[in-house]
Chains A and B, each alone.
Chain A
Amino acid sequence: MRKTNHELTQHEIESNDKVHFGFWVYLMTDLLMFAALFATFSVLRNNTFGGISMKDIFDGPFVLTETMLLLTSSFTSGLAMLYALGKNKKMTLIFLALTFLLGAGFLGMELNEFAKLFAEGNTPQRSAFLSSFFTLVGTHGLHITAGLLWLTVCMALVRSRGLTNNVISKLTRFSMFWHFLDIVWIFIFTIVYLMGHA
């Protein structure tokens, strides 16, 4: 039962609101999990067991670039939503693709950072600090990976089905997820990286 008309009925608006609220509740539970990881990291940040500390990991321009990539991808996913609501399929796809590229760039940089640390023997087993560091930042990275897969599915849906109300509702949820991940990253950037250097 796919609607082809573009006008949202009252019933659809209400059920969409419920779906979005349900998704918001999921995001809040996810936030709770991140908060637990932040608390763990803050407790263990000085337990380096003679190994490297956050000061050694911190690379200012590198992490600033990462942050800007993710922030810009959050912005472009918002613009994609605007074009989707305006029923502009081509521009929606362009901005979703841009979001994907920026997100992939962020993930690539993070994997590169992790690979470097591993190559130097700084694995999660090295110290309590590194365990909590990899768990917190890695969990965010896993969310980004899942988000990129989801985004791929969304783009395929927009291509094959067009911007139906159903697809727009799916895009809205993806966009909420992506903005949420950027908000979590603000705190990783501040608490893990900047405070590690300060």
Chain B
Amino acid sequence: MHNATLKSYITGFILSIILTLAAYLAVMNHMFDGGVLLTIILFFAFLQMLVQLVFFLHMAKESRPHWNLVMLLSFASVIFIMVVGSLWIMHHLNYNMSPMQMNNYLLKDEGMRK
């Protein structure tokens, strides 16, 4: 935090506003199709997280050894496994276990009827 400068905060603030508005406008105007739109706004969110980590929390200016960064990355890997794993498992659980949903999926994805 000690190497903070005004310029860094202003840059971060402006970039954050731009990324927020870009994601917002893309959604409000339905600029892209479902999957592409989701990928784009998630990418903007990720980018804004990096912007705030660098310009607000000054992660890039941390002196060696980069313990804060190491903690962030190890927690990020745990979070990735937990979130992606939960979604993956629960999606397949829905797909395979619930009779009503399974019919919907079969109808929608495979073009089959019960």
Contacts and interface: CB of A to CB of B under 8 A. Distances in A.
Interface SS majority for chain B: helix
B82 A82 contact: no
Bin chain B's interface residue count.
35 or more
B53 A183 contact: yes
B107 interface: no
Nearest to A75: B13
Contacts of B16: 71
Contacts, number: 109
Contacts of A81: 1, 4
A172 B1 contact: yes
Nearest to A195: B38
Contact of A190 (B6, B41, B52, B72): B41
B56 interface: yes
Interface stretch (A18-26, A140-148, A153-161): A18-26
Contacts of B72: 28
Contacts of B28: 60, 197
A180 B53 CA distance: 9
B68 interface: yes
B57 A28 contact: no
A194 B87 contact: no
A4 interface: no
Interface stretch (A37-45, A103-111, A118-126): A37-45
B95 interface: no
Interface in B1-46: 1-2, 4-6, 9, 12-13, 16-17, 20, 23-24, 27-28, 30, 34, 37-38, 41-42, 44-45
Given A36-B82, A42-B83, A195-B41, 20 more contacts: A21-B68, A24-B68, A28-B72, A32-B79, A35-B82, A39-B82, A42-B87, A60-B28, A68-B20, A78-B9, A176-B57, A179-B56, A182-B56, A183-B53, A186-B20, A197-B27, A198-B27, A198-B30, A198-B34, A198-B41
